[in-house]
Amino acid sequence: MKTAYLTFLLLLACFSSWSQQLLDKKPLDQWSNYPIYPRLIQEDGSWKPQFAYLDSISIFSISYLSDGLNVKGMLISPKAEGTYPCLIYNRGGNREFGALKVAHAAFDLGRLASKGYVVIASQYRGVAGGEGQEEFGGAELNDILALEHILAATPAADTSRIGMYGWSRGGMMTYLALTQSNNIKAAAVGGAIADLQDMIEDRPEMETGVLAELIPDYSTNKEEALAQRSASHWPEQFPKDVPVLILHGTADWRVKPEQSLQLAMKLNQHQVPYRLIMYEGADHGINEFRSEVFDEVHNWFDRYLKNQAPLPNMKPHGK
């Protein structure tokens, strides 16, 4: 009986490995083929100084298996030999709206990679030519968790130091992933959805045009489906050893800043380590403070992944 059980566990492990396998990896290095190219170069054809870091990184499109589906994504890593901490980036939007482009890899993810990180991101199932259909916080969570296995097969990746970074819907996905993974050491989110019910009260078009179309059995399962995807409903499920950086613009019309404020207060009650930064008059992308946002995110991951700083004491203390 014991032998049969061990055989079953071995077969299960083999299936799990097979079902989360890297299928394809193609370099995206022909910059002149992309619309962003004129924005990157000077008249003599050299990089503009702020984009010189592109010479130090390699950018790839990837295909990988998740739940047996062919899912698309991106991988960016430093060219210099060595091993590096990892960042899993969770994109926002839904379906093709918000799908990752070469510009994302060059401007945002590439800059982080150039600071000494292996950065990986999923398009989510059904996007950019991938198989299946996303569920806006449902089964495609596995597409994110599968990236940990893809990183484990990446020679430059130090999978003992994995961070997670998400924006908007990607922030919601980050919150969900933190309840399912034991491998994330630090997280950062921007303009993150923490309460879907609150969102659709302000933006009913999100319900009819997105949630009702993507969430299975939405009409008969609405309240449960929304709660399952809303971190403000389950702050006690956040791990207490993963520090979370929460960024939000106070003029964000897509996701109200109150969502991050209210979640932060609940995290505080449960002594979950977090830092909340509100940017005055900033929009959903916090575009008015892009440089500050990058520095905050970069410094956060350097602090907890590279320098492995101790966690803050969240218990009330002091004189």
Instruction: Look at residue 29 in the predicted model and tell me its pLDDT.
Output: 84
What pLDDT is stored for residue 201 in this prediction? 92
Give per-residue pLDDT as tens, 85-112: 999 999 999 999 999 999 988 888 999 9
Question: What pairing do the DSSP bridges indicate for beta strands 118-122 and 274-279?
Answer: unpaired
pLDDT at residue 30 in the model: 87
Q: Are 203 and 254 in contact (CB under 8 A)?
A: yes
Alpha carbons 177 and 189: distance in angstroms, whole number: 12
How far apart are alpha carbons 217 and 75 in whole angstroms? 34
Residue 190 pLDDT greater than 80, yes or no: yes
- 19 pLDDT band, cuts 50/70/90, is low
Q: Quick check: 263 and 230 in contact, CB under 8 A?
A: no
What are the pLDDT digits (tens) for 270-317? 999 999 999 999 999 999 999 999 999 999 999 999 999 999 999 999
Task: Count the helices and strands in the chain (H runs, E runs).
Answer: 12, 9
**5-9, 190-194, 212-216, 235-239: which range is least confident on average?**
5-9
Residue 248 has pLDDT above 90, yes or no: yes
Identify the CA nearest to 183 among candidates 221, 145, 231, 215. Answer: 145
* 125-180 tens-digit pLDDT: 999 999 999 999 999 999 999 999 999 999 999 999 999 999 999 999 999 999 99
Amino acid residing at 115: K
State residue 66's pLDDT score: 96
Statement: residue 76 has pLDDT above 70: yes
d(CA 293, CA 78): 22
Residue type, 24: D
Q: What's the pLDDT score for residue 109?
A: 93
Could you tell me the domains of the chain?
A: 24-306 (3.40.50.1820)
Is 56 buried (19+), middle (13-18) or exposed (0-12) by CB count in 10 A? middle
Whole-number Å distance between alpha carbons of 76 and 99: 16
Torsion angle in degrees (nearest 10) through CA of 25, 151, 76, 71: 50
Q: Are 156 and 118 in contact (CB under 8 A)?
A: yes
